[in-house]
């Protein structure tokens, strides 16, 4: 081995030793446990290499085709590395490596693989039985996953048809045991606006930003009219006087434009009301009333912006028809146009 390689390995080892053990005696679980006693998931975090987990076999004729094991770190922490000590049997190292081949490691805040980040994917080479990978992510759960699916061709050396047990003797997750810090000594604070107060354990960059912020170190507020995680949500168009909404949660803190209500000014006034805070009542003469300013479409016989003017010498919708010129004084019923009093020249009352 070259001298430079030795130096790099030693540097990595020193760095790993500087971090805290996040998984020791934490809650662990697994998809299924082999029959018998002494194979519990917690054996992998007790720091006793003589006790190991064991699941039911997967692949072949087994009803199980997938397997998972996970540890709950108890909080969201910055992670540096994951070490797995797989079960070994004298003279069967190659078989054991083939059993674990193809595994994946995930980091999750929820415990679900579907909402997690991939830390490591093994293959096609067989893994060492004392395995370590750098994993500079943040999360609450570390998940081991493997599978032997029907109809899939696996690389040479993978155990497929024989008994494929998963036996983990120790899983050691190294990182910063205090949330919100990073660096070799875990003594530097993550930027204030990092999501979950976690950041890259080496350089302090944020994995994601708290709502209302963006940028590598989450140092920039969302631009006006945008809010939320990654500034991807657009403010309502109905905040009062076009004042930008709250950049964290999108609420219209200065109130709503006339005709709108709700924390996000997303609701139009209910029928029959209009104006600021929907505090005005539409005229009873309105057929429909615009919720912003109360402008009406009038019932027959009425006109004006608020339908408050009764027709005179006219009738119908919006008083658009003139009374017949032979009606006395050119006045008529404002609803249907019938003459109230006929003139003396030929128009009879109806």
Q: For 3-175, which CATH class?
A: mainly beta
Calculated CA dihedral for residues 156, 130, 168, 162, nearest 10 degrees: 20
Token pair for 210:
């708290």
Residue with tokens 């890259």: 200
Give residue-wise pLDDT tens across range 307-331.
888 898 899 888 889 998 888 888 8
CB 86 within 8 A of CB 54: no
84 φ/ψ angles, rounded to the nearest 5 degrees: -125, 125
Mean pLDDT check: name the lowest of 11-25, 161-175, 231-245. 11-25
Other beta carbons less than 10 A from residue 348's beta carbon: 6
**Cα–Cα distance for residue pair 41/54, rounded to 1 Å:** 8
> Would you say residue 160 has pLDDT above 70?
yes
pLDDT tens digits for range 86-98: 999 999 999 999 9
pLDDT value at residue 16: 54
Averaged pLDDT score across all residues of the chain: 90
Q: Return the pLDDT at 342.
A: 67
Spell out the domain ranges in the chain: 3-175
Q: Which residues of 166-192 are buried (b: 16+ CB within 10 A; e: fewer)?
A: bbbbbbbbbbbbeebbbbeebeeebbe
pLDDT(349) > 50: no
Of 345 and 221, the structure prediction assigns the larger pLDDT to 221
76-130: per-residue pLDDT in tens? 999 999 999 999 999 999 999 999 999 999 999 999 999 999 999 999 999 999 9
Whole-structure pTM value: 0.72
């Amino acid at each position: 081995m070259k001298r430079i390689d030795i130096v790099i390995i030693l540097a990595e080892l020193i760095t790993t030793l500087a971090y805290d053990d996040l998984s020791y005696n934490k809650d662990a679980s697994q998809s299924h446990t082999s029959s018998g006693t002494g194979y519990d998931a917690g054996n992998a975090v007790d720091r006793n290499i003589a006790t190991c987990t064991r699941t039911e076999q997967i692949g072949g004729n087994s009803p199980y085709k997938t397997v998972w094991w996970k540890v709950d770190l108890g909080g969201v922490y910055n992670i540096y590395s994951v070490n797995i000590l797989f079960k070994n049997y004298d003279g069967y190292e190659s078989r054991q490596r083939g059993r674990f081949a193809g595994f994946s490691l995930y980091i999750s805040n929820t415990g679900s693989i579907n909402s997690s980040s991939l830390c490591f994917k093994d293959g096609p080479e067989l893994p060492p039985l004392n395995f370590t990978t750098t994993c500079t992510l943040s999360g609450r759960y570390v998940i081991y996953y493997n599978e032997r699916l029907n109809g899939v061709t696996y690389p040479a050396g993978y155990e497929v048809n024989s008994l494929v047990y998963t036996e983990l003797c120790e899983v050691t997750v190294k990182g910063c045991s205090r949330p919100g810090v990073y660096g070799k000594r875990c003594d530097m604070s993550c930027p204030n606006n990092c999501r979950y107060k976690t950041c890259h354990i080496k350089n302090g960059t944020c994995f994601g930003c708290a709502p209302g912020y963006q940028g590598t170190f989450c140092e920039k507020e969302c631009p006006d009219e945008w809010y939320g995680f990654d500034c991807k949500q657009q403010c309502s168009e109905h905040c009062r006087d076009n004042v930008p909404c709250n950049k964290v949660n999108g609420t219209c803190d200065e109130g709503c434009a006339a005709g709108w209500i709700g924390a996000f000014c997303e609701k139009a006034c209910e029928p029959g009301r209009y104006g600021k805070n929907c505090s005005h009542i539409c005229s009873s003469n309105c057929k429909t009333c615009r919720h912003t300013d109360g402008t009406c479409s009038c019932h027959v016989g009425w006109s004006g912006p608020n339908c408050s003017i009764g027709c005179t010498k006219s009738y119908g919708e919006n008083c658009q028809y003139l009374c017949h010129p032979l009606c006395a004084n050119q006045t008529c019923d404002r609803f249907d146009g019938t003459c109230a009093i006929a003139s003396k020249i030929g128009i009879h009352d109806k």
